[in-house]
Amino acid sequence: MTPTISRLALAALALSASILSAEPAVAAVACGSGNFDAWLADFKTDAAAKGISQQAIAAGLAGVTLDQSVLNRDRSQKVFGQTFEEFSGRMVPPRMQRGSNMMKQYGSVLSRIEQAYGVPGEVLVAIWGLETDFGVNTGKFATIRSLATLAYDCRRSEQFRAELMDALRIVQRGDLAPGDMKGAWAGELGQTQFMPSSWMKYAVDFDGNGKRDLLHNAPDVLASTANYLAGYGWQRGKDWQPGGPNFAVLQQWNKSEVYSKTVAYFATQLARAP
């Protein structure tokens, strides 16, 4: 994704997930045990017990190995240090013209999305532009491999174990083939960078072609993003600027105030564009 630090990473910097779960009666292979293959075999058994098909498990996890580069990135995260002026000044001006063009190109789609979910097109296009340059830079990391690596690592094991399960559910549902699942290093997928859990909860098939495709299908991308914001309480017709009722919803998209303020600013600039 375009920003220097992933949305999930920003939210997770203060998170210290517990490693132990009281759930399984049978001892599972521990995270970080020194044997990734044994851990993965145990995960496959758990996935099947949770109702994921053998076909999806085999397709999604065949040949998956630990990705040290993902662990290196996770270990070297830095706190988001840019000011609003620095970040918005770097991110918004180069994207204004393209954003304005996207508002025109997808005008009718955005209008129907706003009718359905209450979220204005300017907000959706601003997020789209900031996250991946309108779908140009969605990331090149193999999503399932990244999630398996982070689930095996003990830092946030349970969080990413759940995301890996949902990635397999995306495969099982037929939204994407495993080979198409490429994105940011921490597992975000698609043109507005959904974690698999958000994909399962909020992705919609807006064009009615039978698939929820947030990697290739702009109407699905924009409508799913609107559905996400609506799910977090977006209020139709209300202000999205800092202090407004919808700014808190933008902060559910990204916990960084600088990032959320930049989305709000970009959306306002798009609203004023000729």
Helix 36-49 / helix 143-152 crossing angle, nearest 10 deg: 100
For residue 265, what are the CA distances in angstroms to 56, 96, 111, 130, 144? 42, 11, 20, 11, 34
Q: How many whole angstroms separate alpha carbon 160 and alpha carbon 153?
A: 9
182 phi and psi angles, rounded to 5 deg: -125, 140
Structure tokens at 233: 């309480």
**Contact (Cβ atoms closer than 8 angstroms) between residue 224 and residue 214:** yes
Q: How many whole angstroms separate alpha carbon 36 and alpha carbon 93?
A: 45
For residue 38, what are the CA distances in angstroms to 31, 32, 125, 190, 247? 10, 11, 44, 30, 45
Reduced to 3 states (helix: H, G, I; strand: E, B; else coil), residue 175 is coil
Catalytic residue numbers, as ranges: 131
Reduced to 3 states (helix: H, G, I; strand: E, B; else coil), residue 142 is strand
**Contact (Cβ atoms closer than 8 angstroms) between residue 138 and residue 165:** no
